[in-house]
């Protein structure tokens, strides 16, 4: 199988994607080269959403020259474009010992967001993030040892659907009532009490939901979800050259399973529609049934710097959105600082209680 290579037209050395320049850069002479990406109608067609049902019947490799390797440590499967080699897993840092093979057929990505934050910038963002952590040990910023950051394109599913939901519930309207009670001194006093009057309701809410993102990896899903929002309006038609110098993880959550997760992310929005439709001061939702029509999707690759830092013998994983610079990750906490805060809050409550008695 022919291997896809990206070489400098001046010296013949390998080209890699340079986030700072937004172009391919020669690893030897530094010459920049623009990616020959699709444009016009071809690009618009590539980025456009695809029919959910039709995609299940047509699967293909990520690109003809892509190679695939699986990490024995964490189970992550990722693709890379030669001449890059798979040396270490970007998720658990384990050395890759399995031999690469031709990438398996899959729903190929249609679009991606190229890396925009260079590794030096990502490293600085991580250091600033570490320095700004609340309730972190005081020595963290000085002692944290940042390991190498690895650039990875992580697979995402983006789903859209027209939804129609039937619901049944109750509407609660608050009203006040004057009641007579007996106080601690045995005196009868009147006070105003807020009550809720409930009545049964049912109805239908409809609406489109677009670009509901699902992280299609089981390695860093929660952390990467926290890296939202992504500038999906800047999506570029998929072109293997953007992968030069980076790795692209193959999705572990397939298209149907991803849609089930997307439904879960849609539910809070639909619940908000139901509550607004019920109206009143309070709402109870007893049953709902949602139908999803015109389901469409996009398989997109989003750029993330994955790394870790070490502190007092422990390793904390970290991720950087390579478009916006958003940082999320694991972190240590200072038990002393948390204890002092709790004591301070208790002291304030005690002082306020003493003042109210005077």
Tens-of-pLDDT digits for all 358 residues of the chain? Answer: 233 568 888 888 888 899 999 999 998 899 998 887 666 777 777 788 988 877 776 655 555 556 667 776 666 666 665 545 455 666 666 655 445 555 554 678 889 999 999 999 998 898 888 888 776 676 666 666 677 788 999 999 999 999 999 999 999 999 999 988 888 788 888 888 999 999 999 999 999 999 999 999 887 756 677 888 999 999 999 988 898 888 888 888 889 999 999 999 999 999 999 999 999 999 999 999 999 999 999 999 999 998 877 777 777 788 899 999 999 887 677 677 778 778 888 888 888 877 776 6
2 assigned to some structural domain: no
CB 284, CB 161: distance < 8 Å: no
User: What token pair was written down for 133?
Assistant: 């952590």
Query: What's the Cα-to-Cα distance from 322 to each of 270, 335, 338, 352, rounded to whole Å?
Result: 31, 32, 32, 47
Helices (H) and strands (E) in the chain, counts: 7, 16
**Domain assignment present for 141:** yes
Closest CA to 2 of 56, 64, 54: 64
Residue 173 lies in a domain: no
DSSP 3-state of 19: coil
* Residues ≥6 apart with Cβ < 8 Å to 285: 167, 168, 169, 271, 274, 275, 278
pLDDT (0 to 100) of residue 94: 61
Per-residue confidence (pLDDT) for residue 1, from 0 to 100: 28
Q: d(Cα 216, Cα 50) in Å, to the nearest integer?
A: 17
253 inside domain:
yes
DSSP assignment of 88-149 equals B-TTT-PBP-SPPEEPPPB----EE----S-HHHHHHHHHHHHHT-TT--TTHHHH-EE---
Element at 160 (helix H, strand E): strand 150-182
Which residue from 110, 105, 2, 100 is spatially nearest to 61, judged by alpha carbons?
Answer: 105
Residue 66 pLDDT: 62
pLDDT in the model for residue 75: 65
- Whether residue 154 lies inside any domain: the answer is yes
Q: Residue 145: its pLDDT value, please?
A: 67
Residue 106: HSE in the Cβ half-sphere, 13 Å Cα cutoff: 27
Is residue 254 exposed (0-12), middle (13-18) or buried (19+ Cβ within 10 Å)? middle
The answer to whether residue 246 sits within a structural domain is yes
pTM reported for the whole predicted model:
0.75
Confirm if 191 and 179 have CB atoms less than 8 A apart: yes
Distance from C-alpha of 69 to C-alpha of 120, rounded to nearest angstrom: 27
What tokens were used for 298? 């996009």
Number of domains in the chain: 1
Residue whose C-alpha is closest to residue 225's, from 325, 328, 298: 328
pLDDT at 97: 47
Pseudo-torsion of CA 16, 17, 23, 29, nearest 10°?
Answer: -30
Pairing of strands 50-51, 282-311: antiparallel
Confirm whether 31 is domain-assigned.
Answer: yes
Residue 185 lies in a domain: no
CB-based contacts of 329: which residues, under 8 Å, 6+ apart? Answer: 126, 129, 223, 316, 317, 318, 319
Provide the domain limits for residue 242: 15-168+200-340
């Amino acid at each position: 199988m022919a291997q896809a290579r990206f070489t400098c037209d001046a010296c013949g050395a390998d080209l890699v994607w340079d986030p700072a320049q937004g172009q391919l850069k020669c690893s030897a002479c530094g010459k920049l080269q623009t990616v020959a990406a699709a444009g016009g109608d071809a690009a618009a067609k590539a980025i456009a959403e695809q029919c959910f049902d039709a995609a299940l019947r047509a699967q293909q490799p990520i690109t003809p020259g892509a190679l695939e390797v699986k990490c024995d440590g964490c189970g992550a499967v990722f693709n890379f474009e030669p001449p890059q080699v798979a040396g270490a897993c970007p998720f658990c840092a384990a050395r890759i010992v399995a031999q690469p093979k031709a990438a398996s057929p899959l729903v190929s990505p249609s679009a991606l967001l190229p890396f925009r934050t260079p590794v030096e910038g990502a490293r600085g963002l991580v250091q600033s993030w570490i320095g700004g952590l609340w309730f972190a040990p005081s020595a963290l910023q000085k002692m944290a040892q940042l390991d190498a950051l690895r650039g990875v394109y992580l697979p995402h599913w983006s789903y859209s659907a027209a939804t129609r939901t039937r619901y049944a519930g109750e509407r609660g309207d608050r009203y006040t009532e004057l009641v007579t009670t007996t106080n601690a001194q045995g005196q009868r006093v009147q006070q105003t009490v807020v009550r809720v009057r409930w009545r049964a309701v049912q109805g239908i809410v409809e609406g489109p939901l677009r670009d509901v993102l699902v992280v299609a990896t089981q390695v860093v899903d929660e952390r990467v979800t926290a890296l939202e929002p992504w500038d999906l309006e800047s999506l570029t038609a998929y072109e293997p050259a953007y992968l030069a110098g980076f790795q692209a993880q193959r999705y572990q959550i397939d298209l149907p399973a991803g849609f089930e997760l997307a439904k879960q992310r849609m539910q809070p929005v639909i619940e908000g529609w139901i509550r607004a439709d019920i109206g009143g001061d309070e709402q109870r939702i007893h049953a709902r049934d949602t139908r999803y029509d015109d389901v469409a999707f996009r398989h997109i690759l989003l750029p993330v710097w994955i790394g870790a830092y070490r502190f007092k013998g422990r390793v904390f994983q970290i991720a950087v959105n390579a478009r916006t610079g958003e940082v999320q990750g694991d972190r240590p906490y200072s038990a002393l600082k948390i204890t002092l805060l709790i004591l301070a809050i208790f002291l304030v409550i005690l002082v306020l209680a003493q003042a109210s008695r005077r």
